[in-house]
Amino acid sequence: MNTSSPVDTSLPRWGARERLELLQRLRTGPTSWDLVVVGAGITGAGIARDAALRGLTVLVVEAQDLAFGTSSRSTRLIHGGVRYLEQGELGLVYEALRERGRLYEAAAHLVRPARFLFPAYAGDRLSPWKLRLGLTLYDTLNFHRGQAHDYLDTESTLLAEPLLRGEGLRGAVQYEDAVTDDARLTLAILTDARRHGAEVLTYARVERIMGTRGAHTVVLEDGTRVDATVVAIAAGPWSGPALLGSGGEGLLSLSKGTHIVVRSADVPVRQPLVIQAPAQRRILFVVPWGTRTYLGTTDTAYEGDPGNSGVTVEDEDEILGITRRLLPSARLDRDAIVSTWSGVRPLVRVPGASEGETVELSRKHRIVERDDGVLAIVGGKLTTYRSMSEEIVDDIVGRLLPQWPHGRPRPLPCTTHRLPLAPGRPLTAIELEDPVLADLYPRHGPAARELGRRGGDNRCLVEDLPYRWCEIDHAIAHEGVCHVIDIVRRRLPLVLTDSAQGAGVVREVATRLVTASGGHQGDIDEEIERYRHGVEIETGRKTNVL
């Protein structure tokens, strides 16, 4: 990792004042950008960071909060995709494993390796020998970096995970992949993009994009007009005809993935488990998450607004039933559920795919172009966001160079493969003995030192969860939040991990947010209603705000 050049380790402000200043500049204009990125999910964030590091002027506009869609609703894994080997997607697996290794270095606090246990039972589609063969290929595509897979016989498998059902167990493989916080990873990328000059405007829906190749105007919903040489759309599952025109017709198949969260005491697995769904070509994960464990995912065709996917009783029953089959002594009933989430994956449709079948669709990405020269990138995986971004920014730079102003420094080559997302030294083992820093580090990395030094309110928000009040104040000042739901769902996953979905602290969070932005009591009430609505749509749970 190249860290020889001086870096700014301070935390850039990104609050209500900074948003208002940016809006005023855009509205009073004229403003012109090399690149406007539509979408602040992980791919849009990656494009913005790559382009800003190369020296382009960049503006990101997003209809909701950053990471609002798929990028905060994934299975929270950075992985090569063992099951894609069955589909012959060797190139995709190689790319994902390479990018996983780069993320280990670039964001060690957010991307953490883990040993995954993949058991095989009598009657399972993938037998032990098939798993061993697949994982041997997996290790080879990773050039045997990291820890190679192990084969465990029945006895060793049960020693590794006593919760597993013994009957019919034929053995298991154990292999390396990684867990992450998808929303925080997206935030870290955008924060670094801003550190290098990019601007980000959330809650700014694009009404239309006008112009021709090399000269576009992006019109926002409030009438604000922004000129750009290149526009790149990275809108995930919203990348349909409304944004892409006729080129968006039939481009994507949407797949809904559902997850449920339980207390770790009820499902105390020792490591992430991979479960084969019976009579289906898909797998589920059971992943330890501090004092919680989450289970998922489903893989079903979806139609409608991706932001309203929600979780049904049938979704919950399916996940509980499949998991209960392998973990009979765990508490896996409806009353054990703490919370739920679902997300919609944008899968590139391929000719000949069965209608309504999403399990077999490729996780590859595609770059498409509208008739007027607007670019879009669709599909792909959380793990490969950086290489996807590099590919489209290479294209963008190629479009800019013919009209590059004389005397302006030419764009630099891509450097995102060797620069850390969060500047500064990792915390030492001694520093991590401090319980406050130990709680903050997995989300904030080296910046945890500054949060700890401020001497703010370090009380825990909820008794058995590692989230602290100083993070609320930090989010308001430095993490681009506009609404309470942004804080308790995407800056901190309180909605997903607290059995009350954060209802016990939301009023105080709203008070701090509104006070910082100069609002009044009516704004606090509106924030609480927005929070209630968002929680009910995503989790199906009604909240009782104190």
98: Cβ contacts below 8 Å, ≥ 6 apart: 387
- Determine the pLDDT at residue 430: 96
Q: Does 371 have pLDDT greater than 70? A: yes
Which region among 179-188, 211-220, 296-305, 515-524 has the lowest average model confidence (pLDDT)? 296-305
Q: Does 339 have pLDDT greater than 70? A: yes
Task: Please check whether residue 79 is in contact with residue 177, taking contact to mean a CB–CB distance below 8 angstroms.
Answer: yes
In the block, residue with structure tokens 């499949």: 322
Q: Does 361 have pLDDT greater than 90? A: no
- Determine the pLDDT at residue 362: 58
Task: Please check whether residue 347 is in contact with residue 253, taking contact to mean a CB–CB distance below 8 angstroms.
Answer: yes
More confident residue, 360 or 158: 158
Quick: pLDDT tens for 1-16: 433 344 455 678 999 9
Q: What is the 3-state secondary structure (H, E, C) of 4-43?
A: CCCCCCCCCCCCHHHHHHHHHHHHHCCCEEEEEEECCCHH
Phi, psi dihedral angles at 388 (to 5 degrees): -60, -45
Residue 435 tokens, joined: 């319980």
Quick: pLDDT tens for 427-452: 999 999 999 999 999 999 999 999 98
Residue 464 tokens, joined: 């058995």
pTM score of the predicted model: 0.95
Q: How far apart are CA 314 and CA 43, in angstroms?
A: 31
Domains, the chain, ranges and CATH? Answer: 16-70+183-251+363-403 (3.50.50.60), 111-179+252-348 (3.30.9.10), 456-539 (no CATH)
The residue count for the chain? 546
| Nearest in space to 114 (alpha carbons), one of 158, 65, 79, 161 | 79
Q: How far is CA 372 from CA 40, 230, 239, 396, 525, in A?
A: 22, 11, 16, 14, 44
- Determine the pLDDT at residue 401: 95
In the block, residue with structure tokens 């004092």: 291
How many CA atoms does the CB half-sphere of 301 hold within 13 Å?
13
In order, the DSSP letters of 48-107 are HHHHHHTT--EEEE-SSSTT-SGGGSS--EE---GGGGTTT-HHHHHHHHHHHHHHHHHT
| Nearest in space to 72 (alpha carbons), one of 306, 239, 313, 246 | 306
Q: Express as a percent the part of the chain with pLDDT over 70.
A: 96
Beta bridge partners of 201: 61
Q: How far is CA 132 from CA 128, 135, 173, 174, 310, in A?
A: 6, 5, 7, 9, 37
Q: How far apart are CA 317 and CA 138, in angstroms?
A: 32
- Determine the pLDDT at residue 454: 83
Q: Fill in the amino acid letter for 512.
A: R
Quick: pLDDT tens for 133-192: 999 999 999 987 888 999 999 999 999 999 999 999 999 999 999 999 999 999 999 999
- Determine the pLDDT at residue 146: 81
